[in-house]
Amino acid sequence: MDARFHRLPAMSTAPARRVERLPSDKGYVPVYTTAVVAQPWQDYSAADHATWGALYRRQRELLVGRACDEFLAAQDAMGMDAQHIPRFEQLNEALHTATGWRIVGVEGLLPELDFFEHLAHRRFPVTWWIRRPDQIDYIAEPDLFHDLFGHVPLLMDPVFANYMQAYGRGGLKAHGLGAEALQRLTRLYWYTVEFGLIATPAGLRIYGAGIVSSKGESLHALASAAPNRIGFDLERIMCTRYRIDSFQKSYFVIDGFEQLMAATGADFSPIYARLSGRADIPAGELREGDTVLQRGSGEGWRDDGDV
Ligand code: PHE
Ligand code: FE
């Protein structure tokens, strides 16, 4: 048997369970699951479909003129709409034809290595379950709406699709190098894939999945005077802490997906080595050398809580 087959236990299909992080006295404890599950589409309730529809309609309305054109066009091209929760298999037809990516269903957050392994093989793990109606405005962990509405559309873009696969390969490498390299790479993911902004001829636009899947942050990221908006800088980002329980204090702005790809193409190993031991930059701090597109007012910021 092909040895690599044994490396992929995650690909065996398991029954779908709804797994959320568990609240404990230390906050939310991640429950890592590794199984790939078939999307139990028949089992979604009318309330589940209604939650998807309400979120879809609200965000689409908000995102016209706020999200980048590639994102909105890709949602339409894939056939996502407000009618019902999309079937992964149906989306995969358009997605795989466009860029060779596929969605696979998962129960929730994956351990880093499993996540990287999927990305490196052009598979994007999507949480199969959707938040409850009382979680419409906020849920601590990624659910179907965040993963599918937020992350999947840009996988239709050939350049962004390559970036995500390269990120997965880079993750496998960083994982072998140790915790510091992994942390630097995670910051890059955070400030691009999750919370990235893009400068277009029509103005600043959103492409980060953590922003497009949040009403509050979609408004905040572009319009608020509070956050810094800083030109993309790989090594700077690798040193910058971030927020997981509030809007970001700083956003980094790319000129286009080609710039992102060009800036991240080189081997990161020498960069990790050079940055080793370098002091972290607090999430809200500006530095000499930053391309400051907007100096944040810092209004409403809490001092604690950077990770
Ligand atoms: N070039 C990076 C490395 O060597 C991999 C990577 C590519 C990471 C693109 C992110 C995005 O680790
Ligand atoms: Fe995400």
User: What single-letter DSSP state applies at residue 127?
Assistant: E
Q: Looking at the predicted structure, is the pLDDT value of residue 297 above 70?
A: yes
pLDDT tens for residues 39-86?
999 999 999 999 999 999 999 999 999 999 999 999 999 999 999 999
Atom of ligand 1 nearest to the CA of 267: 4
Outline where DSSP puts E strands in the chain: 13-14, 22-24, 27-29, 36-37, 102-106, 123-127, 197-200, 203-206, 228-231, 250-254, 292-294
b vs e for 114-132, b when ≥16 Cβ sit within 10 Å of the residue's Cβ?
Answer: bbbbbbbbbbbbbbbbbbe
Query: 240 has which bridge partners?
Result: 281
Q: Looking at the predicted structure, is the pLDDT value of residue 8 above 50?
A: no
pTM here is 0.92
Binned at pLDDT 50, 70 and 90, residue 29 comes out as low
Contact, 104 vs 124, CB < 8 A?
Answer: yes
Distances from the Cα of 129 to the Cα of 29, 142, 146, angstroms? 19, 10, 11
Average pLDDT, the chain: 92
- Look up tokens 């970001």; give the residue: 248
* CB 166 near ligand 1, within 6 Å: yes
Contact, 253 vs 198, CB < 8 A?
Answer: yes
The residue annotated as part of the active site, out of 70, 194, 217, 218, is: 194
